[in-house]
Amino acid sequence: MSLLHVAIGGALGAMLRYLVGISVAFPYGTLVVNVLGSFIMGLVFVMFVDNGLDRWVPLVMVGLLGGFTTFSAFSLDVLRLIETDRAAAAFGYVLASVVLSLAAIFVAVFIARSFAQ
């Protein structure tokens, strides 16, 4: 049943992301989605996980918010590292995530464009 919940939540999250993307000018739509998704992830984390309502995690946290923005999951990872007194690891994780993700997209575009010519 969890996979079905993830799928339903993911579909809803993707549709919401699309609606925000067409409603807000580039690149601010992505910024809005990432910040809003992270904010909602924080609220949901406290409401569900801290209160033993783990059965809602697949639908809301993984599916809905994962489909809306994977940045919310990244933000939650950073929060967990900081809350477990691993600030240096959190900083390294943030730095590596941003730098490596940007490098990966630039390399992928270069490779793809090289094959397309």
- Which residues are known binding-site members for Na(+)? 66, 69
Annotated binding site: 66, 69
Cβ atoms of 75 and 43 within 8 Å: the answer is no
Burial 75-85 (b: 16+ CB within 10 A, else e): bbebeebeeee
Measured CA to CA, the distance from residue 104 to residue 75 in angstroms comes to 20
- CA gap 93, 80 in Å, rounded: 12
